[in-house]
Structure 1
Amino acid sequence: MESTNVRKYPTIRRTRPHGTVGGYTEEKRRGGARRRGVLLVGLALVLAGGSPAVAEAAAGATPFPVATRTAAYVTNFASDNVSVIDLATNDVVTTVPVGSGPFSAQITPAGTRVYVTNALSNTVSVIDTGTNTVTTTIRVGTQPGAVAIGVTPGGTRAYVTNFRSDNVSVIDTGSDTVTTTIPVGTNPQGVAITPDGTRVYVTNRTSGTLSVINTGTNTVSTTIDLEGANGVAVTPDGTRVYVTRASRDDVQVIDTATNRIVGSVDVGTFPSWVAINPSGTRAYVSNSSGVSVIDTSNNTVVTTIRASSPRGVAFTPDGTRAYVAINSARAVLIVDTASHRPVGGVGVGGSPVGVTIGTVSVTCATEGRPQHPHHRPTNDDTPHPPHRCPR
C-alpha cells in the first residue's frame, strides 16, 4: 500500500476574494480569531471606472445573459462565508457571506443554486449561482449539518440533518420551504441520496445507526445498526453505500438492494467525510492523518494522502481532480486522482469544512442572451444550455 506523504502543501494560491469576511463564534477557535474585514474589490472596480457594461448591469439598465462554469463552493466555518473557486483558473472569484458556522453545501442538479447549512444559526442559506448572492434563508432544526439534494418522486428536494434535533428537514427547492421533518436516530450527521432519488441514507452518530428514508413517503423504512456511523456516500450506480465509522476507524460497505453490510475497510483514525468519484472506482475518506483512497472493486486502501485535518472532499465532473478542505490551513488541497498526489492548493477562509463542485450558471455583465438581473429560475430540474460568457 503506497503512502503519499504531504507534510508541506503545494503552493497555495491566496487570491483576494471579492466580498465580506465575517465574524467569529464559539466553535471557531480552531480557525482562530484571525483576519476580519471587508474586501470591497468589486465596488472599487466599478468606482474606478470599470466596464460600462458592468456599471449598467449593476444599475439594472442592461440585461444579463447566462453562461456556465465549473466551480467549487467551500464553506468556511470560522469566517461565516463561502469561497467560490473557478476551477478553470483555481482562483477565488468571490466570497459569499452566509449564516453563522457554515458547515456543508450542495449544488442543485441544474446548477442554479447552492444550499448551505449554517450550524450555529440553525438555518440554510440559498445562494443564486448567477449572482453569487444569498436569495433566501430557511429556518431548519438545531445545528444543521450535512445536506443532500436529489430529484425525488415529489420533485427536487434538499434533505438536511439536524444534529441536536434528531431529525431531518425536507426542503422543497421550488418554494424553498420546509415541507416535512423526519424523526431519525440520535445526533444525525451525514446524509446521502441515491441517484434515482428514491432513498436517503442518514448516519446517526450517538445512536449508532443508519436510517434509510423512503422519499416517496418521507418516512424511515429501515434502520441499520452501525456503531459510530459518521459520513456517508452512495456510489454513482446506486448499488453501494459507504459509511465511515469514527469510533472503529473503518468504512462499512452496504448493499442497497438488501441494506446489508457486504464489506469493511480499515482506514485512518477517526474517519469523517467520504466521497466517491464520478466513475465509482475510488472512495476518498478523510481521517485525522490524511485521506485514505479505497479501490471500490475490491474495497482495499490503495494509498493514503497525508494531510493535516482534511474535511470535505469533492470531485470535478470528469473525475481528474479532487478538492479537499484542509480545516487547519485555511486552504483547499487539489489532488490529481490519477496519481493521488497533491498538485496545488487554493487559499480560502477560516476553518474550511465542506466542498461541493458542479457546473453552475453564471450571470455575465456583457452582451448576450437577455435575462433580468434578478432572474431566478422557477424550474430547478432543467439545466441551462452550456453558454459561455463572451470575452
Structure 2
Amino acid sequence: MYPAFLVLKVLILFIILVPATVSASADQNSSIVDTYENSSIVNTYVYITNSNCHSVSVIDTATNTVIDTVKVGAYPIGVAVAPDGSKVYVANSGNDTVSVIDTATNSVTATVNVGVIPFGVAINPDGTMVYVTNFNSSNVSVINTSTDSVIATVDVESIPRGVAVVPDGSKVYVANSGNNSVSVINTTTNSVTFNVSVGDKPIGVAVSMDGSKVYVANHKNESVSVIDTTTNTVTSTMNVGYGPWGVAASPDGSKVYVTNAEGTVSVISTATNDVTETVDVEEFPIGVSVVPDGSKVYVTNSDSNNVSVIDTATNTVTATVKVGSNPVSFGQSIGVKQILIENEPVLPIAEFSACYVCGKAPLTVKFIENSTGSPTSWSWDFGDNCTSTAQNPVHKYCKAGEYTVSLTVKNAAGCDIENKNQYIIVKCK
C-alpha cells in the first residue's frame, strides 16, 4: 500500500557537484574526484531531504557515505541546486516555506514563505529564478535568487507536483496530478500558455538535455508520456512498472530512468521509446538522479530509508547508502560550485565544446567551457549577433546557417580567445 500524502512521508533527492578547493573545467565535472592545476579537487555530493526528520542528508559519492546533516523546515520535499553550486533550495511542505542552504557551510541562511504545501522545486539555467509548485494552492511561486524573495505567483491546474525548466530557461513544465495535465509556463510573462493532457496522476517530470522533449511519469496508469516541446503535444506513451513516480534523463539524452513503486527502475531508450532494462532496487523507490557523466544513478527508497546506487554500464546496484526517514524524491538539479584559491594566477587558455553542434532549426546548443588557468570571466560570441557572459551558456539558433563561435576568457594574469570556424551547423526545418 502506498503511504498517504497527508502523512507527509515524502522527501526528495538531488545531485550537486561541489569542488572541495577550487574551480573545475566543465568537461571534468563528470569525475567524482579529479585533480587539476594548483592541486584542486572536485567532489560530487548528493542532497537528500528527510521528510520525517526535517533534515537534509549530504552524501559524498566518492565514498557513498553521509558526511553531514542539515536541519531545515517541517516535512521537506523538493530540492533545487543553483547552477554554480552555492545554494540548495528546499521546499518544506509542513510549514509552507523554502529553506536556502549555503553549501559552503551546509547551513540554512534564509527562509522564504511560499504557497500551501510546497512540493516540487526547479531552478533556471542561469540561477536567477526558482520555481516552486504549491500542492494545495494549485500555483507556482517564483523566487528571485538575488533577494531570496517571491516576485510572482502563477496559477496552474489542480495539485501541481513535479516541475522542470527547459535548458534555455524560456519555459517551465509543471505536472498537475489533480486533473492529469502538464502546464507550460512562459517565464517572460510568468503565465500559463498551454495545458497538455497526459496520463492518470502525473507526478515526476524531466526535460531532455537539448530541451526538445519532456518526460512525465503517470503514476496511476503505469506509463510515461513524451511531450514535444515545440508543439506541446504528446508524441509517445511508454508502459513502465507499477506506480511510476520519479523520472530523470541521462546527460547524453540516450536514456530515461523511471522509478516504480513496485521496487524497480525502468530504463528507457530514447531512440526507440522502449524499456530496455528493469533494475531491482529496494522498497518503494521514488527519487532518481543521474550523475553528470551518466555513469551512476541514485535512487531513493522510501520504505527502506536508503539510497541505491546503480552502475549504468551494467544496470546493477553497486552500493546502498543509509539516510534519514522516508526518502521519496522526484526530479533532478545539478550545479557546479567554483572557489578560487590564493595562488598566483596562471594565464588562462580558452577552450570549449558544445552539445549538439549540428541539427535542424531551431537548434538549442549547450556550450561547455573547458578552459585551463581558472578564468574568472567569459565572453561568448555565437556568430549570429548574440553574445553571453555566462560560463556555460545555452543558446538557440533560429535560422539555418554555419556559425563561427568564439570564447574569450580572462583572469588576473591576462586573457585568451578561441575561435571555432563554422562550428555550429543549423539546417532548414
Do these two structures clear the TM 0.5 threshold for a shared fold by scoring above it? yes
- Given candidates 282, 288, 293, the residue that maps to 1:313 is 288
Alignment of 1:125-136 (within 5 A): 125-136=99-110
Distance 1:117 1:224, change over 3 A: same
Q: Which runs of 5+ in 1 are unaligned?
A: 1-24, 32-65, 370-380, 386-391
Q: Which of 245, 248, 261 lines up with 1:288 in the alignment?
A: 261
In structure 1, the partner of 2:80 is 106
The 2-side partners of 1:95 and 1:363 are apart by: 22
Secondary structure of the corresponding residue to residue 273 of structure 1:
strand
**Counterpart selection for 2:328 from 353, 356, 378:** 353
State the Cα distance separating 1:169 from its structure 2 match. 0.3
Q: What is the alpha-carbon distance in structure 2 between the residues aligned to residue 97 and residue 239 of structure 1?
A: 37
Q: Which amino acid aligns with 1:201?
A: Y
- CA shift for structure 1 position 247: 2.0
How far 1:28 sits from its partner (Å)? 5.5
Is 1:277 aligned with 2:257?
Answer: no
SS at match of 1:78: helix
Give distance in 2, aligned partners of 1:74 and 1:195: 24
Q: 1:220 aligns with which of 188, 192, 195?
A: 192
Q: Does 1:257 align with 2:237?
A: no
1:323-342 map, 5 Å: 323-342=298-317
Which residue does the alignment assign to 2:119?
145
Deviations 1:185-210 (A, max 9, x none): 01101111101100000011112211
Provide the C-alpha distance between the structure 1 equivalents of 2:80 and 2:9, rounded to a whole number of angstroms: 25
1:169–1:67: structure 2 CA closer, same or farther, 3 Å change rule? farther
Q: Which residue of 1 aligns with 2:205?
A: 232
The structure 2 residue matched to 1:344, chosen from 301, 316, 319, is 319
**AA aligned opposite 2:78:** S
RMSD, aligned α-carbons: 2.6
State the partner residue of 2:142.
170
Give the 3 Å change call, closer, same or farther, for CA 280–121 of structure 1 in structure 2. Answer: same
Which residue does 2:375 correspond to in 1?
A: none
Q: Residues 300-337 of structure 1, C-alpha deviation per residue, up to 9 Å, x if partnerless? A: 00111123200111111111000101111111100001
| Per-residue CA distance 1:251-286 (angstroms, 9 max, x = gap) | 011111111111110011121110111111111111
Higher relative contact order (CA 8 A, sep 6+): 1
Residue 62 of structure 2 is aligned to residue 88 of structure 1: yes
Contact 1:130–1:363 (CA under 8 A) maintained in structure 2: no
Find the residue that maps to 1:151 and give its secondary structure: coil
Deviation, structure 1 residue 354: 2.8
Tell me the matched-pair count: 313
Summarize the Cα distance change of 1:169–1:29 in structure 2 as closer, same or farther, 3 Å threshold. Answer: closer
The 1-side partners of 2:185 and 2:337 are apart by 31
Counterpart residue number, 1:209 = 181
- AA aligned to 1:193 is V
Deviation at 1:101, TM superposition (A): 0.8
| Deviation for aligned residue 1:361 | 3.7
2:7 is aligned with what amino acid?
E
Question: Distance between the aligned counterparts of 1:27 and 1:125, measured in 2?
Answer: 21
Secondary structure of the corresponding residue to residue 238 of structure 2: strand
Note if contact 1:70-1:359 (Cα within 8 Å) is conserved in structure 2.
no
Q: TM-score, normalised by structure 2?
A: 0.69
Q: Does 2:141 match 1:161?
A: no
CA apart distance, 1:30: 8.9
CA distance in structure 2 between the partners assigned to 1:164 and 1:358 by the alignment: 27
Partner of 1:48 in structure 2?
none
Q: TM-score, normalised by structure 1?
A: 0.75
Aligned counterparts of 1:311 and 1:78: Cα–Cα separation in 2: 15
Q: Which deviations, in whole Å up to 9, do the C-alpha atoms of 1:46-66 show, x marking residues without a partner?
A: xxxxxxxxxxxxxxxxxxxx9
User: Which sections of structure 2, spanning at least 5 residues, go unmatched?
Assistant: 12-39, 344-389, 393-408, 410-429
Identity %: 42
- Equivalent residues of 2:164, 2:205 under 8 A apart: yes
- Please report how far the alpha carbon of residue 362 of structure 1 lies from its aligned counterpart in structure 2 after TM superposition: 8.2
Contact 2:205–2:246 (CA under 8 A) maintained in structure 1: yes
| Aligned equivalents of 2:129, 2:101: Cα separation in 1 | 16
User: What is the Cα deviation at residue 338 of structure 1?
Assistant: 1.1
